[in-house]
């Protein structure tokens, strides 16, 4: 199993809007690609003064499914977040393999 982890630091000013957009629009769009079996979202417990950080985890059956997602869908979906929230929601990804 492959875990595609997206970590996003979200400014307080857009937090509620971003969280609703993620759960109601973005994550359903990612899952509609049929490249992931399930997803989970966690709030990162940090002692920060501004903003909240989340870990969104997508579980792919294999690396081929993740690579297809990245080749066919990732750029467009990531561009939508960038267009909507600019630098108020900064993300980076990590790919992990279950051992």
Q: Which CATH architecture has domain 2-97?
A: 2-Layer Sandwich (3.30)
Q: Where are the alpha helices (DSSP H) in the chain?
A: 15-21, 27-31, 63-69, 75-85
Q: What CA–CA distance (Å, rounded) separates 45 from 63?
A: 29
Encoding tokens for residue 30? 């990612």
- Please provide the distance, in angstroms rounded to a whole number, between the alpha carbons at the two ends of the chain: 8
What are the tens digits of pLDDT across the range 9-19? 999 999 999 99
pTM for this entry:
0.93
CB-based contacts of 14, cutoff 8 Å, min separation 6: 85, 88, 89
In this structure, how many other beta carbons lie within 10 angstroms of the beta carbon of residue 54? 19
Predicted local confidence at residue 84, as pLDDT: 96
What are the tens digits of pLDDT across the range 36-94? 999 999 999 977 778 999 999 999 999 999 999 999 999 999 999 999 999 999 999 99
């Amino acid at each position: 199993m492959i875990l595609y982890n997206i970590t996003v630091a979200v400014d307080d000013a857009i937090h509620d809007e971003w969280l609703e957009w993620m759960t109601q629009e973005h994550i359903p769009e990612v899952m509609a690609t049929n490249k992931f079996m399930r997803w989970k979202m966690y709030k990162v417990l940090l002692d920060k003064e501004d903003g909240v950080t989340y870990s969104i985890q997508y579980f792919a059956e294999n690396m081929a499914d993740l690579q297809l997602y990245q080749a066919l869908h990732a750029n467009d979906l990531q561009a939508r977040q960038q267009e909507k929230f600019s630098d108020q929601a900064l993300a980076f990804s990590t790919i992990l393999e279950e051992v």
